[in-house]
């Protein structure tokens, strides 16, 4: 088993003291250490936002892409080189707002990778505007009279949208979250973890103490993750917030079924040395 320290980069996180993203970072580092994933076989891909600075703080290959586009790039990386363990990440604004189109199609496409969202129910980097997961009537910098848009429920939408592994974690429960990361990475198919990761600077409602009162662990209830109806019921629960694996129902992955990949193998392993450069000019 590798040491957790092997996954810490030389760059120290620049998040505010107490930000929930620290717990998510250490949880993924622990999961990778427990799974003994070689650093050179791991690729972290993010979008834009406080949480999307994540790849810089993680000792692996990394890509810090454009706002809402991290998931599209991460899927491309996995298709190009299936030998990599690909983990995509970002915030709720990045993944469920501007990146929502990519999110919806990644659910049904089922490429073998993990995506997690550090969900703080606010835009943190831009200093506190309403995000897709902000609750109704919450006052923010962009909705001073209260948010009137019904909040996006990522886990319910993921279950309905064909995602084969749907989990919810909390950065205040880092050991529990690390176990979720391990299961998600080992899952054959697209896995989503929605991580409650409080913004201590701009969200004074959904705080660590608030989540501590609201959460309970799914695995202590006898829930069967293969049961679609039961999973959806958990996803829609509002008086309490279940954390753990809500839904798990593997099916053939896109990468295992796409004819070109099956017939010719990984693009990064193609022998292009025989190609006449003149042929490539035909594509211009």
The residues of the shown chain that bind ligand SF4, judged by CB under 6 A, are: 15-16, 19, 21, 50, 120, 124-125, 199-202
User: How far is residue 196's CA from residue 171's CA, in Å, rounded to a whole number?
Assistant: 6
Q: State which residue, 13 or 267, has the beta carbon closest to ligand SF4.
A: 13
Q: State which residue, 33 or 200, has the beta carbon closest to ligand SF4.
A: 200
Rg (CA), the chain: 19
CB of residue 16 vs ligand SF4: minimum separation in angstroms?
Answer: 3
Tokens of 275: 């190609």
Q: State which residue, 4 or 200, has the beta carbon closest to ligand SF4.
A: 200
CB of residue 55 vs ligand SF4: minimum separation in angstroms?
Answer: 15
User: How far is residue 54's CA from residue 115's CA, in Å, rounded to a whole number?
Assistant: 13
Q: What is the DSSP letter of 187?
A: S
From 80, 79, 51, select the one nearest 67 (Cα to Cα): 51
Contact 56, 9 (CB under 8 A): yes
Q: Going by C-beta distance under 8 Å and a sequence separation of 6 or more, which residues neighbour residue 183?
A: 165, 167, 191, 245
Q: State which residue, 64 or 105, has the beta carbon closest to ligand SF4.
A: 64
Contact 41, 35 (CB under 8 A): no
Q: State which residue, 54 or 254, has the beta carbon closest to ligand SF4.
A: 54
Tokens of 189: 């198919």
CB of residue 54 vs ligand SF4: minimum separation in angstroms?
Answer: 11
CB of residue 39 vs ligand SF4: minimum separation in angstroms?
Answer: 25
Beta bridge partners of 129: 123
Q: State which residue, 17 or 222, has the beta carbon closest to ligand SF4.
A: 17
CB of residue 80 vs ligand SF4: minimum separation in angstroms?
Answer: 31
> In Å, what is the CA distance from 212 to each residue of 55, 69, 197, 240?
28, 32, 12, 10
Q: State which residue, 70 or 242, has the beta carbon closest to ligand SF4.
A: 70
CB of residue 46 vs ligand SF4: minimum separation in angstroms?
Answer: 13
CB of residue 143 vs ligand SF4: minimum separation in angstroms?
Answer: 17
User: How far is residue 201's CA from residue 145's CA, in Å, rounded to a whole number?
Assistant: 20
Q: State which residue, 84 or 125, has the beta carbon closest to ligand SF4.
A: 125
User: How far is residue 221's CA from residue 268's CA, in Å, rounded to a whole number?
Assistant: 45
> In Å, what is the CA distance from 198 to each residue of 33, 74, 269?
25, 25, 42
- Distance, C-alpha 152 to centroid of its chain: 16
CB of residue 73 vs ligand SF4: minimum separation in angstroms?
Answer: 22
């Amino acid at each position: 088993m590798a040491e957790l320290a092997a996954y810490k980069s030389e760059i120290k996180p620049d998040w505010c003291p107490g930000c929930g993203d620290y717990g998510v970072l250490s949880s993924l580092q622990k999961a990778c250490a427990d799974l003994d994933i070689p650093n050179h076989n791991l690729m972290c891909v993010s979008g834009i936002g406080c949480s999307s600075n994540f790849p810089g703080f993680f000792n692996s290959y990394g890509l810090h892409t454009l706002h809402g586009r991290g998931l599209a790039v991460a899927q491309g990386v996995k298709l190009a080189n299936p030998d990599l363990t690909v983990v995509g990440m970002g915030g709720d604004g990045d993944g469920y707002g501007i990146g929502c189109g990519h999110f919806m199609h990644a659910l049904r496409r089922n490429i073998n990778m993990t995506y997690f969202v550090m969900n703080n129910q606010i835009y943190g980097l831009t200093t506190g505007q309403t995000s897709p997961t902000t609750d109704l009537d919450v006052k923010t910098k962009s909705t001073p009279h209260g948010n009137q848009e019904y909040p996006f429920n990522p886990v319910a939408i993921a279950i309905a949208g064909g995602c084969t592994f749907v989990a919810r974690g909390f950065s205040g429960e880092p050991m529990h979250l690390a176990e979720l990361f391990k299961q998600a990475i080992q899952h054959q198919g697209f896995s989503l973890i929605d991580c409650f990761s409080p913004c201590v600077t701009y969200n004074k409602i959904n705080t660590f103490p608030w989540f501590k009162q609201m959460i309970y662990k799914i695995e202590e209830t006898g829930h069967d993750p293969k049961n679609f109806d039961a999973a959806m019921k958990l996803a829609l629960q509002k008086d309490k917030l279940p954390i753990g694996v809500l839904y798990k129902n593997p099916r053939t992955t896109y990468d295992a079924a796409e004819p070109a990949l099956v017939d010719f193998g990984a693009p990064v392993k193609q022998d292009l040395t025989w190609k006449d450069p003149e042929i490539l000019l035909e594509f211009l």
